[in-house]
Amino acid sequence: MTIRIILPLLLTALALPARADSYALPKNPAFEEECASCHIAYPPQMLHADSWREMMGGLSRHFGSDASLDEKRRSAITDFLVAHSGGRKTGDTRDARGKPLLRITETARFNRKHVEIDAATWKRASIKSPANCTACHAQAAAGDYNERSIRIPK
């Protein structure tokens, strides 16, 4: 009797660390079309709502590129990102002065998760930049950042 309760609990606990790095990507055609044409669809959960608001307010200079949108789409996508933004799991994504971080790669969670990756690895031609999730997380576009899906290229 007890085993029937304990076993599922045990299995769930074992599965937790893997599941912790999976992000359910909520379906949103506008988000996919506008945000995932130049880069993968970064999970909205990876940043705080304030970070998304700040980012969506500066799209004409989006990390050096013009990613401007018409106002209707811009506000619809902002609402979507805010609604699915990082909660307890992602934590706060602000810098020391309280300013919202715009780069996922600068967040505490990202750095904690990548602490064993040295500077030379990031610079490999096959990786290029910490923002290139897919280089190592082959299934990143589907929200899968699990440990077992990682393959760091030479």
The residue written with tokens 């996508």 in the block is: 77
Q: Which stretch binds another protein (CB under 8 A): 9-17, 32-40, 76-84, 145-153?
A: 32-40
Is 40 an interacting residue with respect to another protein (CB under 8 A)?
yes
> Does 66 interact with another protein (rule: CB under 8 A)?
yes
- Distance separating alpha carbons of residues 71 and 129, to the nearest angstrom: 31
> Can you say how many angstroms the Cα of residue 97 is from the centroid of all Cα atoms in its chain?
22
H-type alpha helices, the chain: 2-19, 29-35, 49-56, 71-83, 108-113, 119-123
User: In the complex with another protein, which residue's Cβ is closer, 66 or 118?
Assistant: 66
Nearest distance from residue 59's CB to another protein, in Å? 9
Residues that bind another protein (CB under 8 A): 37-40, 60, 63-70, 128-129, 131-132, 134-135
